[in-house]
């Protein structure tokens, strides 16, 4: 009887709810931590980013007009589906150099983080809204609204938890996102895309690219249709570049220099607020 | 009228289109192509809710596509409903942008010939430089080719000096054979341009249909020496597709047709996409629709 061949997964991009290969046809050979196996990871190009931006923009109006409660449900659902895929993520984390125990912990933390932001999704607006005192006969109130399309560079040193910690607060706030996954540890990002795909997250709300940060950073930060950019890392040259490029259309640059993405310190509702804009309304009193 | 039925190879047309559309236009050629596309646009608003304000705004847009780039060409024409012709004419004084008006009971054409001719004469008196008429598709499909042909001839006569574009509404003609027949018929009857669609019926301008119409124009030119124009309309909103059409014209009809006198795009949102590409080419930065005026 013949030996059965393993069917291995092709790691592709996640754009507009679909899993295309990179339009450039380029790949990065990624070797696992034990030097035992290798996979091809898509080397995303500026055109992949451009395509992802178009779908993110198209998805924005639908996503931001959903009720906060519904966004909360969907975030919770992502956590549920992730729970069911534990073993697959554990295998990938181990290939990327985690021990079995570390892998289990990272998956737990990732699920908990999704549930955490699911909880906040329908509460941050009340907490961050306020009635402002004004010296005339108006109600004056301010409340946060989604910024729009956010581009994000997920932490390089973290695979699953880093990506989850970046994406969850952005979409909880009603934004759509194009995120570049970790260059060093890209495996979990595309598997996470499969989780998103089966969690009622509309296509285009989260788009995940893999590739070289040095190649894509300029485009992530200069694209005029990006309304805010989230950068994780502490390379001062890169931070300078995104801040300069952000000035082109006054997109909001947000820099997280955190090292430990497993820590509870990197989750708080202010991370949702970071990609929101405040709208202030004056309403005449007595009419 | 003598009609010669061409049998169109549908699969062949589709194959030819895919080959032409796989061409890649880069760098300087791309910028030239984008500018050419702009100069060929009939900026269009054909909605029941059109107001004088909207038409004036559209006319302003036609003349001031993107003021940060002063060397841009202007669009070829603006295309409106008959009641808006005087408003557009006034708004476009002192520009070389034409006013095109749809007529003959656009978009369905379901009224008597008498009224259609009256409407055409009226828009020409009001100042339309170009008239976009619709053919009677019902009659065409019933095989009353002579009626359709005579109608076009009479409308052409009513146009006087104005250019006549004949809308075949290919989405309702069902087959490519019919598209070819209607194209031949319209050209014989005196059309200056043949146009795919009203934009009110889906599908509108599809690439194989445009190819068949271009081939009809080519054959007519070979037979008579007369150059007839072509206007695909409806569903062309991206610069990329517009450039692909330029390739198709160049390969089917040659350089002469790469000119606003012989080729137009009927579109409303195409102009902004082309502008975004032009700015992208010159600044290297991908653009956002937020920074371009709404037309």
Q: Among candidates A9, A13, A8, A14, which has minimal Cα distance to A42? A: A13
CATH topology of domain B26-284: TIM Barrel (3.20.20)
CATH topology of domain A27-284: Aldehyde Dehydrogenase; Chain A, domain 1 (3.40.605)
pLDDT at A22: 97
d(CA A194, CA B234): 37
Q: Compute, in degrees rounded to 10, the torsion defined by CA atoms B135, B140, B141, B145.
A: -170
d(CA A188, CA A164): 10
Chain B's closest residue to A227, CA to CA, is B288
Task: Tell whether omega for the bond before B126 is within 30 degrees of 0, i.e. cis.
Answer: no
Domain ranges for chain A? 27-284
Q: Are the beta carbons of B8 and B212 closer than 8 angstroms? A: yes
Residue A169, φ and ψ in degrees, nearest 5: -65, -30
Interface residue of B275, B282, B285, B292 to substitute, partner A, most A CBs within 10 Å: B285
State the CB neighbour count (10 A cutoff) for residue B12.
Answer: 11
Interface residue of B272, B288, B292 to substitute, partner A, most A CBs within 10 Å: B288
Does the beta-carbon distance from B291 to A224 stay under 8 Å?
yes
- Number of CB pairs, chain A paired with chain B, less than 8 A apart: 23
pLDDT over 90 percentage in chain A: 93
Q: Collect all residues with Cβ–Cβ distance below 8 Å to A49 and sequence separation of at least 6.
A: A151, A178, A209, A216, A219, A220, A223
Helix, strand or coil for residue A206? strand
- Which chain B residues touch A248 with a CB distance below 8 Å? 285
Smallest Cα distance from A55 to chain B, Å: 13
d(CA A228, CA A205): 15
The stretch A37-59 carries a mean pLDDT of 96
Q: What is the ipTM of this complex?
A: 0.84
Q: Which two tokens stand for residue B9?
A: 């190879």
Chain A's closest residue to B290, CA to CA, is A225
Domain ranges for chain B? 26-284
Is A50's Cβ below 8 Å from some Cβ in B?
yes
pLDDT at A287: 63
pLDDT at A258: 86
pLDDT digits (tens, 9 = 90+) for A129-144: 999 999 999 999 999 9
Q: Which of residues 201-260 of A touch B (CB under 8 A)?
A: 219, 222-225, 248-249
> Which residues of B are known catalytic residues?
132, 195, 231
pLDDT digits (tens, 9 = 90+) for B126-183: 999 999 999 999 999 999 999 999 999 999 999 999 999 999 999 999 999 999 999 9
Q: Which two tokens stand for residue A197?
A: 């795909």
Does the beta-carbon distance from B287 to A219 stay under 8 Å?
no
pLDDT digits (tens, 9 = 90+) for A172-204: 999 999 999 999 999 999 999 999 999 999 999
């Amino acid at each position: 009887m013949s030996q059965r061949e393993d069917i291995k997964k092709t790691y592709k991009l996640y754009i507009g709810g679909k899993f295309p290969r990179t339009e450039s046809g380029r790949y990065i050979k990624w070797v696992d931590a034990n030097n035992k196996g290798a996979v091809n990871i898509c080397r995303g190009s500026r055109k992949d980013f451009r395509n992802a931006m178009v779908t993110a923009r198209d998805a924005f109006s639908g996503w931001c007009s959903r009720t906060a409660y519904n966004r909360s449900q969907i975030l919770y659902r992502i956590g549920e589906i992730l729970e069911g895929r534990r073993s697959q993520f554990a295998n990938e984390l181990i290939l990327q150099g985690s021990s079995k125990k570390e892998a289990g912990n990272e998956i737990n933390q990732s699920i908990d983080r999704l549930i955490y932001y699911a909880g906040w999704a329908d509460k941050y607006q009340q907490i961050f809204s306020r009635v402002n005192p004004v010296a005339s006969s108006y109600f004056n109130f301010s409340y946060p609204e989604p910024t729009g399309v956010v581009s994000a560079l997920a932490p390089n040193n973290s695979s699953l938890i880093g990506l989850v910690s970046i994406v969850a607060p952005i979409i909880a706030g009603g934004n759509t996102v194009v995120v570049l996954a970790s260059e060093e540890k890209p495996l979990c990002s595309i598997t996470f895309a499969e989780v998103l795909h089966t969690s009622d997250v509309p296509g285009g709300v989260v788009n995940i690219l893999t590739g070289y940060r040095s190649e894509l950073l300029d485009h992530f930060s200069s694209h005029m249709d990006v309304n805010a950019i989230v950068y994780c890392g502490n390379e001062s040259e890169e931070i300078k570049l995104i801040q300069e490029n952000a000035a082109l259309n006054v997109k909001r640059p947000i820099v997280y220099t955190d090292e430990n993405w497993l820590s509870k310190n990197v989750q708080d509702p202010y991370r949702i607020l970071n990609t929101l804009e405040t709208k202030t309304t004056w309403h005449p009193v007595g009419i | 009228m003598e009609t010669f039925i061409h049998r169109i190879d549908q699969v062949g047309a589709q194959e030819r289109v895919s080959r032409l559309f796989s061409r890649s236009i880069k760098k300087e050629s791309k910028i030239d192509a984008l500018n050419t596309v702009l100069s060929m646009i009939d900026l269009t608003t054909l909605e029941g809710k059109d107001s004088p304000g909207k038409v004036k705004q559209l006319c302003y847009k036609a003349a001031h596509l993107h003021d940060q780039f002063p060397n841009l060409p202007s669009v070829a024409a603006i295309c409106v409903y008959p009641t808006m012709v005087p408003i557009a004419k006034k708004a476009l004084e002192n520009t070389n942008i034409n006013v095109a008006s749809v007529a003959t009971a656009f978009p369905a054409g379901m009224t008597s010939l008498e009224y259609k001719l009256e409407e055409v004469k009226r828009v020409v008196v009001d100042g339309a430089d170009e008239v976009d008429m619709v053919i009677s598709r019902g009659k065409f499909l019933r095989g009353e080719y002579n009626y359709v042909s005579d109608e076009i001839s009479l409308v052409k006569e009513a146009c006087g000096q104005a250019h006549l574009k004949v809308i075949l509404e290919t989405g309702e003609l069902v087959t490519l054979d019919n598209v070819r027949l209607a194209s031949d018929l319209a050209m014989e009857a005196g059309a200056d341009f043949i146009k795919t669609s009203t934009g009110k019926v889906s599908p509108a301008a599809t690439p194989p249909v445009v190819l068949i119409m271009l081939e009809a124009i080519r054959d007519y030119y070979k037979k008579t020496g007369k150059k007839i124009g072509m206007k695909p309309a409806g569903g062309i909103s991206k610069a990329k597709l517009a450039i692909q059409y330029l390739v198709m014209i160049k390969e089917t009809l040659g350089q002469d047709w790469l000119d606003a006198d012989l080729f137009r795009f009927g579109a409303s949102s195409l102009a902004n996409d082309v502008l975004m590409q032009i700015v992208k080419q010159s600044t290297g930065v991908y653009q956002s629709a937020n920074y371009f005026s709404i037309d």
